[in-house]
């Protein structure tokens, strides 16, 4: 399965998607006023400090380790654990349209265009969501290939356009 998303939080032992790591990032950065301010402050450019904050946020939840690491694709298309030495993170808030003027919205894009077959990596995230949301449930199979394709395109659109809204 292709997996072209830039960053992926995984369990450091199994390599599987880490729901605990993703939830810890939200808990430690988005839901924490201090974490949010620390991650957001500074210039809009890419910084090693944000990389460290993100790595630390994924690694623990409420003082307990999550066993999660963040990986990115390197120049050889292999997954490597990110660090301040090999990755820089930028945080940029979207701005709503004021009474006059225009809003500014940042839409994340993949590094390169994806074809339909490469969208199946989204299934792993949907599967993990279902496991977390309703333990014991499983991802039902699509009725046909077209249904699966439409569902994957929908989820990619949700990922791209909803972000933290």
For the record, the structure tokens of 153 come out as: 């395109």
pLDDT exceeds 60 at position 27: yes
Exposure of 26 by Cβ count < 10 A (0-12 exposed, 13-18 middle, 19+ buried)?
A: middle
Q: What is the mean pLDDT of residues 133-154?
A: 87
Greatest Cα-to-Cα distance within the chain, rounded to the nearest angstrom:
52
Name the more confident of 66 and 157: 66
- At 77 the pLDDT is 83
* Domain ranges across the chain: 1-90, 108-165
**pLDDT score, position 140:** 83
pLDDT at 53 over 70: yes
Q: Are 30 and 91 in contact (CB under 8 A)?
A: no
| Residue 89 pLDDT exceeds 90 | yes
Span 110-121, average pLDDT: 78
Region 7-11: mean pLDDT is 94
Q: Is the pLDDT of residue 1 over 50?
A: no
Q: Stretch 53-72: mean pLDDT, rounded?
A: 95
- The share of the chain scoring above pLDDT 70, in percent, equals 95
What single-letter DSSP state applies at residue 89?
B
pLDDT score at 102: 94
């Amino acid at each position: 399965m292709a997996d072209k998303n830039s960053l992926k939080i995984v369990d450091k032992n199994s390599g599987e998607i880490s729901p605990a790591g993703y939830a810890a990032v939200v808990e430690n950065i988005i839901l924490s006023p201090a974490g949010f301010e620390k991650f957001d402050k500074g210039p809009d450019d890419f910084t090693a400090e944000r990389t460290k904050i993100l790595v630390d946020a994924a690694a623990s939840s409420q003082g307990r380790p999550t066993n999660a690491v963040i990986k990115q694709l390197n120049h050889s298309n292999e997954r490597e654990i990110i660090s301040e030495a090999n990755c820089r993170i930028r945080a940029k808030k979207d701005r709503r349209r004021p009474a006059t003027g225009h809003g500014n919205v940042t839409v994340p894009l993949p590094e390169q265009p994806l074809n339909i077959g490469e969208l199946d990596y989204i299934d792993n995230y949907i599967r993990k969501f279902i496991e977390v949301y309703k333990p014991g449930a499983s991802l039902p199979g699509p009725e046909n290939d077209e249904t699966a394709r439409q569902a994957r395109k929908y989820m990619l659109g949700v990922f791209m356009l909803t972000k933290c809204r």
